[in-house]
Amino acid sequence: MTDGRRHIGVAERRARLALRHRLGGQARAATPEEVADSLVALHGTDPATVFLAVTARLTDPAKAVPETERALYEDRTLVRMHGMRHTVFVFPAELTAAVHASTNLTVAARARAALLRDMASAGAPDAAWLAEVEEATLAALARRGQATAVELAADEPRLREQFVYAAGKSYEGVHTVSTRLLRLMGVEGKVVRGRPLGSWTSSQFRWAPAPPHPGLDVAEAQAGLLRRWLRACGPATEADLKWWTGWRVTEVRHALTAIGAETVSLDEGPGYVAAGDAEPVADPAEPWAALLPALDPTAMGWQQRDWYLDPALRPLLFDRSGNVGPTVWWNGRVVGGWAQRADGEIVWRIPGEGDRREATAAVAAEAERLRGLLGATRVTPRLRTPLERELAA
């Protein structure tokens, strides 16, 4: 206890991670919906991440791809949409309203203002013109059910129009109306990404009408989302919460108060858990290993990561923008990285851990299992990191 607060040390935080993130012992899930519910959100920037994150956590990983496709594109129990930090995630369908109200409303207002400003600077048509194009695009999408940007532009040719962005600056470029408008409509909760044109690794998505959801009070939505995240990832510091949500610190504090979050002591200072969640959590009965994909929600779950990631590994496992590559886990901490080579072999490295026979044997078994599951599929992360590039070569 510290100042009356229970101290939650590194070992217990790793035990919570193993159990609540469906990685250790008997914690694995039966369905992709259970995985997403346990993690709150699956990173969707790289399409393969969603499927590989599910694969690592299912009791029957051979079902990961077909079952995740079912959830995303048939039952729509999982929805790919913009969320925290203006990032694409896959959420349980019942969370979409809370994510939209808690996070996307503010981001969407800024994104629409930015688009109109950029178009005006380029001498492009005004807001009324954009509203006409948007209405026609939604009508076309309603008729088609799902469509690519190219297909929608066949129905609404104005989507093909281009304008110069940031003229005269070092980052000047040409934007197509369809690219900016469809992305904006996604943030505004009007459209979502549907089934891709190719396989589960493809990033060429069709667009689909967004599922209807009720409007929620912003503060209520923020409180609900934070409570759910703390149940999955607590304890966490205020800095972790602000980083993960992308909210202002005042919003984080108001939400913590609203849900009655309990303050605990962590090695790095004060932390928070959901109300009633400060009781001790035991380690999984058996040691465990996992090969998690680039941008996995566990590796990206906290801003302050020293309790599960040796700082010496960061230059190897992260790119310059702070995106994590494929990681090797042993008993609740990141110990190395992995990659897939052109011939399908899964290669991995545990810097400084070569003498730990139990760890290396378990990781080798996971690598062989993953190779068998992937078969002829080749996965190259969209955001590549130093160790992944080296191993893949």
269 plus 316 within the same structural domain: yes
Helix/strand/coil (H/E/C) assignment for every residue in the chain: CECCECECCHHHHHHHHHHHCCCCCCCCECCHHHHHHHHCCEECCCHHHHHHHHHCCECCHHHHHHHHHHHHHHCCCEEEEECHHHCEEEEEHHHHHHHHHHHHHHHHHHHHHHHHHHHHHCCCCCHHHHHHHHHHHHHHHHHHCCECHHHHHHHCHHHHCEEEECCCCCCCEEEEHHHHHHHHHHHCCCEEEEEECCCCCCCCEEEEECCCCCCCCHHHHHHHHHHHHHHHHCCECHHHHHHHHCCCHHHHHHHHHHCCCEEEEECCEEEEECCCCCCCCCCCCCCCEEEECCCCCCCCCCCCCCCCECHHHHHHHECCCCCECCEEEECCEEEEEEEECCCCCEEEECCCCCCCHHHHHHHHHHHHHHHHHHCCCCCCCCCCCHHHHHHHC
pLDDT of residue 351: 87
Domain residue limits at 107 = 96-209
195 plus 106 within the same structural domain: yes
pLDDT of residue 3: 67
53: in domain: yes
225 plus 205 within the same structural domain: no
143 plus 257 within the same structural domain: no
391 plus 248 within the same structural domain: yes
- Rounded Cα–Cα distance for residues 215 and 45 (Å): 26
pLDDT of residue 264: 97
Of 209, 226, 242, which closes a domain?
209
91: in domain: no
83: in domain: no
263 plus 342 within the same structural domain: yes
298 plus 391 within the same structural domain: yes
pLDDT of residue 171: 80
104 plus 143 within the same structural domain: yes
Of 209, 237, 255, which closes a domain?
209
86: in domain: no
Which residues of the chain register pLDDT less than 50? none
130 plus 72 within the same structural domain: no
pLDDT of residue 107: 87
Alpha-carbon distances, residue 238 vs 223, 229, 369 (angstroms): 14, 13, 38
85: in domain: no
Torsion of CA 7, 9, 15, 19, to 10 degrees: 50
Of 191, 209, 227, which closes a domain?
209
pTM, two decimals, is: 0.92
The structural domain count of the chain equals 2
pLDDT of residue 353: 56
221 plus 353 within the same structural domain: yes
